[in-house]
């Protein structure tokens, strides 16, 4: 499994808002940037899943934060969309990875 992933179409733990799960290794700079960039109502640490839930409206920002901190991110596409692997050089590959 890749180190940094975004999983779409995840209902929020506080309400039924659409969001995504963000899984990354621990990185203090990433955590600081995430907390500074995304308002508290739009993010929550989900301890049982070891991931951040972030409101779907922040998807592009989360991708940028992941690229800055980790260099690449795998964005799962869901049932009908291809998975997309993005690296900080702008290379995007679309494929069904799993």
Instruction: Please report the beta strands in the chain, taking only residues with DSSP state E, as ranges in sequence order.
Output: 5-11, 18-23, 43-46, 51-55, 72-75, 83-87, 92-95
Q: How far is 26 from 60, CA to CA, in rounded Å? A: 20
What's the alpha-carbon Rg for the chain, to the nearest Å?
A: 13
Q: How far is 95 from 34, CA to CA, in rounded Å? A: 28
Q: What pTM did the predictor assign?
A: 0.89
Q: How far is 36 from 38, CA to CA, in rounded Å? A: 6
Task: Give the pLDDT score at 2.
Answer: 65
pLDDT digits (tens, 9 = 90+) for 37-52: 999 999 999 999 999 9
Give me the percent of the chain exceeding a pLDDT of 70. 94
Instruction: Give the pLDDT mean for 6-12.
Output: 93
């Amino acid at each position: 499994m890749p180190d940094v992933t975004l999983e779409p179409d995840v209902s929020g733990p506080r309400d039924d808002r659409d969001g995504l799960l963000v899984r990354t290794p621990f990185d203090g700079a990433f955590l600081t940037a995430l907390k500074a960039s995304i308002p508290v109502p739009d993010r929550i640490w989900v301890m049982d899943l070891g991931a951040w839930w972030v409101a779907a409206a922040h998807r592009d920002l989360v991708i940028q934060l992941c690229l800055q901190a980790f260099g690449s991110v795998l964005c799962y596409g869901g049932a009908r969309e291809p998975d997309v692997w993005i690296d900080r050089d702008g290379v995007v590959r679309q494929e069904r990875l799993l």
